Structure 1
Amino acid sequence: MPSSPLSSRRGFLRTAIALVPAGTLAGCEVKQSATTAAAGSNEGANASADHAPRAHYQPHFFDAKEWAFIHAAVDRLIPPDSEGPGAVEAGVPEFIDRQMDTPYAHGALWYMQGPFAQGAPELGYQLKLVPRDLYRLGIAALNAYCAKTYAHPFDALDAATRDTVLAALEKGRIELADVPAATFFGQLLQNTREGYFCDPIHGGNRDMASWKMIGFPGARADFMDFVNQNGAAYPYGPVSIEGKRS
C-alpha cells in the first residue's frame, strides 16, 4: 500500500466498493447475524490463532481447514489498520460461508449446460465450476502448493509469505490442479469486497464499520439534501436494512 494511510486505505476501499455489483446479493438468504466478539488484529505466524472466528457462528459449507484458509486469506486482502477494521473483524468469513448456501453459489443463476471451452475474455466466465467448486477445489490446491513449497498450509504461513502467495495467485503464476489460479483469486477478492461492504443482514460489515469509515449512509430513506455537497462529510451515521443505527 502507498505511504499515505488516508489516501491509500480509503482510496482503495472507495474504488473497491464501486466494483461490487448491486445484483450480486439478489439471491442472498437473509438471516439474523449471530452476536459475536470482535476478533484480534495481530499478524502472527498462524492466522487461525491470530483471528478467531465469531464465537457463535459455525460454518455450514467450509470445513475446518477451509475455514482457517478463508480467515487467513481475507485478513491479508483487507488487513486492519488505524482507519478501520480488517475483513476478519468485519465478519467477511461469515458472509462468504453464508453465500455458499445461496442460488448464486450453486450456479443456479448461470447458464451451465456447456460446452465449456476457453473463450476470449470479453465473452465472460466460461468454466463449468460454480463458486462452491472454486472454493473447494481452490483451497485444497493452494494448501497443497503451500505445503510443498513452504512445508505448511496457507493459514500457518507468516503474513509476508501469505502476501507473496496471494500476489502470485492473482497473477496466475501458481499452477493449481483443477482450477485456474487467477480465477480462484478473483472469486475470493470479489466476495471479500462484497462481505466488507454489504448490509450487516448478510453476515459481513459487522457494526456497519466499513460504512462509517467511508461515510456511507446505508439504507437511510432520504439523504438527498447531501447529494450535491461534494466532499462534505455526511453528518449522520449509517442505518442498516433492519433499521439498526451505528
Structure 2
Amino acid sequence: MSKKEKNFSRRDFLKTSGVAAGALVGGGIIGGLIASNTGNETASPGTAPATHGETGSAGGVRGLMFFKNDAEFQILSQATERIFPEDDLGPGAIGLGVPYFIDQQLAGAYGENSKEYMQGPFFEGETTQGYQSRLKRNEMFRQGLQIMQQEAQKRFKANFADLEGGQMDEILTAFQEDQIQMQGVSSLFFFRLLRSATLEGAYADPIYGGNQNMDGWKMKGFPGHQAAYISQIDNEEFQEIDPKSLGTGH
C-alpha cells in the first residue's frame, strides 16, 4: 500500500468512525473504559500473565494478562493494525502498543463487566442501543477473534495473521456490515467494540499500556497532562507543547 493510500485510510477512518478524536483524547470514551481498570483490578483472579517477547515503554519485557497463546494475540494485533495502520504520520496500532492495552483491559474490570448490571432477561437490542448482551467483553473478543481465524481459513485457507491487508479488510468489513454469525452478540456490535478499543489504546495515557512513547498524542498535537499552562496562556501564537504522561510527568 502506498503512503498516499495509507494516509487516506487513517484519515478516512478517523472521520467516518463516528467517534470525535477530541472526545477520545480529552476523556470521553477512554474514561469509561480505563477508569474501571485502575487500582488493583488489573487482572482476573487466578490469571497469570503469559510471557511475551516485546519490550514495553518502561523497559523490560511486556507480558500478556488475558490472552493465553500468541496465535490469538497476533490476530488481535493484525486486526487493530488494519483499523489504525502505520503511515508517514506515525506508528499504527502495533507500534503504539494497542494490542497490549486491549489485553490488559480484557483481563480487568472492563473485560469482566464487573461494575455493570449483567442479569437477565436478555433481549436482542436495536443497533442504536448500547450493551445488550449476556456475554462479557472478554468473551466477545475471544469469540470474535476465533471467528476471524475461521473466516480466514474458509475464505483464503490461511491464518488470519498471515493474510494480505486486503484480505483482512474483507473479513473485517464483513463484521462491520453484520454479515458474520456470532453467538450472543452481533458481529457489528463486536466490530464497534474492537474499533473503539483500538482508538482508546492509541490515545489513552501510556500508563494503561497503549499510546507508547505518547506517539498517539504527538500525532494529534495533544499536550497530555500538563501541570499548568501559566507560561503559555498569555502568548497569542500557537504553542507546541511536549506531551506529559500521568505516569512519568515527562
**TM-score, with length taken from structure 2:** 0.78
After superposition, give the CA deviation of every residue in 1:177-208 in whole Å (9 maximum; x if it has no partner). Answer: 55421111111111111100011101100000
Query: 1:194: which partner in 2?
Result: 200
Q: Is the 8 A contact 2:93 2:202 kept in 1?
A: yes
Q: Give the share of equivalent positions with the same residue, in percent.
A: 31
1:225 positional shift: 7.1
User: For 1:27 and 1:178, how far apart are their aligned partners in 2?
Assistant: 23
Tell me the amino acid that sits aligned with residue 194 of structure 2.
L
8 Å CA contact 1:211, 1:218 repeated in 2 = yes
Q: Match for residue 106 of structure 1?
A: 112
User: 1:171 & 1:227 partners in 2: Cα distance?
Assistant: 46
- Report the residue type matching 1:211 in the other structure: W
Instruction: Choose which of 5, 23, 32 in structure 2 pairs with 1:23.
Output: 32
2:87 is the alignment partner of 1:81:
yes
Shift of 1:145: 1.9
Residues 134, 184 of structure 2: 8 Å contact kept: no
* CA separation of 1:242 and 1:132: change in aligned 2, threshold 3 A: same
Q: Structure 1 residue 227: deviation in Å? A: 7.3
Look up the match of 1:160: 166
| CA 180–68 in structure 1, closer or farther in 2 if over 3 Å, else same | same
Contact 1:95 1:195 survives alignment (8 Å) = yes
Judging changes above 3 Å, is the alpha-carbon distance between structure 1 residues 8 and 226 closer, same or farther for their aligned structure 2 residues? farther
CA distance in 1, matches of 2:225, 2:178: 38
1:234 deviation in Å?
A: 3.2
What is aligned with 2:66? 61
State how far apart, in whole Å, the 2-side matches of 1:120 and 1:176 are. Answer: 16
Q: How far apart, in 1, do the equivalents of 2:239 and 2:9 lie?
A: 18
Displacement, 1:25? 1.1
Q: Report the CA distance between 1:123 and its aligned residue.
A: 4.2
SS at match of 2:120: coil
Aligned length: 227
In the alignment, the residues of structure 2 paired with residue 73 and residue 170 of structure 1 have an alpha-carbon distance, to the nearest angstrom, of: 12
State how 1:92-171 maps to structure 2 within 5 Å.
92-171=98-177
Indicate the SS of the match to 2:151: helix
1:239 aligned partner: 244
1:25-46 alpha-carbon deviations (Å, 9 max, x no partner) = 1112468xx98279xxxxxxxx
Contact 1:137/1:178, CA 8 A, preserved across alignment: no
Do the aligned partners of residues 126 and 225 (structure 1) sit closer, same or farther apart at CA in structure 2, a change above 3 Å counting?
farther
Q: Distance in 1 between matches of 2:245 and 2:229?
A: 14
Residue 166 (structure 1) shift = 1.1
Partner-residue secondary structure (3-state), 2:207: helix
> Counterpart in 2 of 1:222?
228
Q: 1:236 to 1:178 in 2, by over 3 A?
A: same
Structure with more relative contact order (C-alpha pairs < 8 Å, separation 6 or more)? 1
| Structure 2: unaligned runs, 5 residues or longer | 43-52
Name the Cα RMSD after superposition: 3.3
C-alpha change, 1:17 and 1:166, in structure 2 (3 Å) is farther
Deviation at 1:3, TM superposition (A): 6.6
Contact 2:10 2:84 (8 Å CA) reproduced = no
- Give the superposition deviation at 1:74: 0.8
- If the length of structure 1 is used for normalisation, what is the TM-score? 0.80
Q: 2 CA distance for matches of 1:185 and 1:72?
A: 14
**Separation in structure 1 between the aligned mates of residue 79 and residue 9 of structure 2, nearest angstrom:** 23
